[in-house]
Amino acid sequence: MEIEPRPYRDETDLDKIGDLLRAGLTSANGTHYDHTGNLYWSLYYASEGDVRKNLTLWDDPHHPDRILAWALFEPGWGAFYVFFQPELRRSPLAETIFSWAEDHITALVQAAGQEAIHTDYIADHDDVAIARLLAHGFQRTQADTVYMTRSLTGPLPQPALLDGYTVRGCRGEAEVIARATSQYNAFDNTMPFERYVARFRSFMQSHVYDPELDVVAVAPDGRIGSFCIVWPDSQIKVGLFEPVGTHPDFQRRGLGKAVMSEALRRLQARGMERAIVSTTAKNTAGIKLYEAVGFRIIQRLGTYEKKLT
């Protein structure tokens, strides 16, 4: 039976995508799967516009509440990501779906006058995905990501905090300016600030945002020095950190360690058994921070690129 791709329809599809990611994460079959928090962050904050129009799904013909695969396309970056149900890892169907996705992003990129396509987060030990990419003409770049984890079943760090600072959940839209300002400067954003604030407010208004899981370190003058958002997934008992950052004016004061430690406690209180975080391999300061609160690198994820000319 030929399985045709189709566009994203509604929140029911979001649940199906999440279920596929959970199945992949729990299978531990060598392929890297995103956490549902990565999905929610991408759809409701990280990209402007309605990213859902760039989602494609392949239905399971035998189970109407299940999908066999899904893909996300980011034409502006020339990027695409394809995730399969674990049992399809070595199947001809996976090859067919990947080929369709590659052709689709290629057409979008060529229409925009760009010269390359790429896909990220390929685990170094994923021989199946790597062999497929090399056979399709992709080559690995130097853009590595490290994937880190720590257990939440034992004691958690409790670092001291500077006098006058407090660590708490964000107050949501009531302090959107302060929260957006901290993240805007932490990541050297070049977007007009008014537009950035509007995007952050829209994210805060979405159903995926929980201010109690947006942990901030607040200075005596009310400015937010450091922040992190955590995404618990009660079905697999894994919590994700995304994003984590500190305003340049507040670095080297232990604030990043303070917000992460509090966020770990909040994840543990919600029944999470493990926490994960990832960052670029070049982010030595970030890796040092994550190691300071108990994370360790368990794998590296690569980027693969294909030139179209």
Tens of pLDDT, residue by residue over 191-211, are 999 999 999 999 999 999 999
Q: Is the pLDDT of residue 238 over 80?
A: yes
Q: Residue 197: its pLDDT value, please?
A: 96
Chain mean position to CA 7: 21
Q: What is the pLDDT of residues 104-113, one digit of tens each?
A: 999 999 999 9
For the stretch 248-260, pLDDT in tens is: 999 999 999 999 9
Percentage of the residues of the chain whose pLDDT score is greater than 90: 92
Q: Are strands 116-123 and 296-307 parallel, antiparallel or unpaired?
A: antiparallel
Segment 58-62 mean pLDDT: 97
Q: Report the alpha-carbon distance of residue 114 to residue 175 in Å, rounded.
A: 40
The per-residue pLDDT for 48 is: 66
pLDDT (mean) for 21-49: 92
Q: 55 pLDDT band (50/70/90 cuts)? A: very high
- For residue 246, what pLDDT is reported? 98
Higher local confidence (pLDDT), 17 or 2:
17
Average pLDDT of the residues in 169-181: 98
Torsion of CA 305, 284, 29, 36, to 10 degrees: -90
Residues with Cβ within 8 Å of residue 178, at least 6 apart in sequence? 222, 223, 224
User: Does the pLDDT value for residue 83 go beyond 70?
Assistant: yes
pLDDT band at 2 (very low <50, low <70, confident <90, very high): confident
Residue 1 has a pLDDT of 60
Q: Is the pLDDT reported for residue 47 higher than 80?
A: no
pLDDT at 157: 84
End-to-end CA distance of the chain: 35
pLDDT greater at residue 47 or residue 168? 168
What is the reported pLDDT for 26? 96
What is the reported pLDDT for 158? 82
Average pLDDT over residues 40-65: 89
Output the average pLDDT for the chain: 95
Task: Return the minimum-mean-pLDDT range out of 45-59, 142-156, 214-228, 264-278.
Answer: 45-59
pLDDT top residue among 291 and 51: 291
Q: Per-residue pLDDT tens for 126-164?
A: 999 999 999 999 999 988 999 999 999 999 988 778 889
- State the maximum Cα–Cα separation within the chain, in Å, rounded to a whole number: 66
Q: Which domains does the chain have, with CATH numbers?
A: 5-145+302-307 (3.40.630.30), 154-272 (3.40.630.30)
Q: What phi and psi values does residue 221 have, to the nearest 5 degrees?
A: -85, 5
Q: Report the amino acid identity of residue 26.
A: T
Averaged over 159-180, what is the pLDDT?
94
